[in-house]
Amino acid sequence: MRQKIVAGNWKMNNTIEEGKKLTSEIVDMVNKEGVDDVKVIIAPPAPYLSTVVGLTDGANNVEVSAQNCNEHESGAYTGEVSVSMLNSIDVKYAIIGHSERREYFHETNEQLSKKVDALLKSGLTPIFCCGETLSTRENGNHFEYVSNQLSEGLFHLGEEDFKKVVIAYEPIWAIGTGVTASSEQAQEMHAVLRKHLSSKYGTEIANNTSILYGGSCKPDNAKELFACEDVDGGLIGGASLKAKDFVDIVKSF
């Protein structure tokens, strides 16, 4: 059985006070709702990670993720956060290769593959993002383009390491636009990606890999998206900033 996951990516939003309130509300609601079969992940901005880890400590099924990490162990990389720093404050996940990082910070698949290595070496779980632009989709190259992101970012991994990775498909044209992929479009891409994983790692490993959908996922469309056979949850941006909306998405399974 694949792990169902709903992860909230706050991006560069919230003050520390707002972040504390949001975290506490999410923890309370998740505990009350008893959604034990879904792993809930909160990805706050880096300065709040330690606080959010503290607030989720002991909470049922709520984990904390960084939004990024540096691929180097330590050293003269001003402004960056290493995996060992994340590990030292009990952060268990890191979002890697979000399209905003690929676009604004010029992250390449090669660099992302090193970030993945650094995370796995320290026992953290990468949430590896992939997704195409609208023009790539309109040109009909989207399946090949996204499959290639997985090949270049992840396919250097051996089976045991690969099994620990979570994948998030986020079509760039759906992020923050209010235009979500239809459930058919999401399912179609997820199935293509799972087949691609299977060609490298075999059916069993591919069938056990969680592939999340991200891009304007909201309480009113999550149910339909999560009902798709190959969609194992969501990576949520805007709707993760309101506790009720986020937990309603968690409850959509």
- Residue with CB nearest ligand 13P? 237
Q: Tell me if residue 168 falls in helix, strand or coil.
A: strand
Check binding of 252 to ligand 13P (CB under 6 A).
no
The answer to whether 170 is a known catalytic residue is yes
Check binding of 245 to ligand 13P (CB under 6 A).
no
Find out whether 125 and 165 touch, Cβ atoms under 8 Å.
Answer: yes
Check binding of 233 to ligand 13P (CB under 6 A).
no
113/216 with CB nearer ligand 13P = 216
Window of 12-20, 58-66, 148-156, 168-176 that interacts with ligand 13P by CB under 6 A: 168-176
How far is CA 202 from each of CA 125, 192, 194, 198, rounded to the nearest angstrom?
21, 14, 10, 4
Please tell me which residue in 100, 107, 132, 170 is annotated as part of the active site: 170
Check binding of 175 to ligand 13P (CB under 6 A).
yes
Cα gap 202→216, rounded to integer Å: 31
How far is CA 207 from each of CA 16, 38, 60, 175, rounded to the nearest angstrom?
39, 17, 26, 26
Specify the amino acid at residue 183: S
Taking CB under 6 A as the criterion, the residue among 126, 153, 233, 238 binding ligand 13P is 238
48/201 with CB nearer ligand 13P = 48
Q: Tell me if residue 176 falls in helix, strand or coil.
A: coil
In 109-238 the beta strands, taken as DSSP E runs, fall at 125-130, 166-169, 211-214, 233-236
Show the tokens assigned to 205. Answer: 């490993």
The answer to whether 98 is a known catalytic residue is yes
Please tell me which residue in 98, 142, 190, 196 is annotated as part of the active site: 98
Taking CB under 6 A as the criterion, the residue among 66, 196, 237, 247 binding ligand 13P is 237
Taking CB under 6 A as the criterion, the residue among 171, 215, 219, 233 binding ligand 13P is 215
Q: Which residues contact 19 (CB under 8 A, 6 or more apart)?
A: 10, 44, 45, 48, 51, 52
Taking CB under 6 A as the criterion, the residue among 23, 65, 216, 221 binding ligand 13P is 216
Judged by CB under 6 A, the chain residues 47 through 66 that form the site for ligand 13P are: none
List of residues contacting ligand 13P (CB under 6 A): 9, 98, 170, 175-176, 214-217, 235-239
Catalytic residues: 98, 170
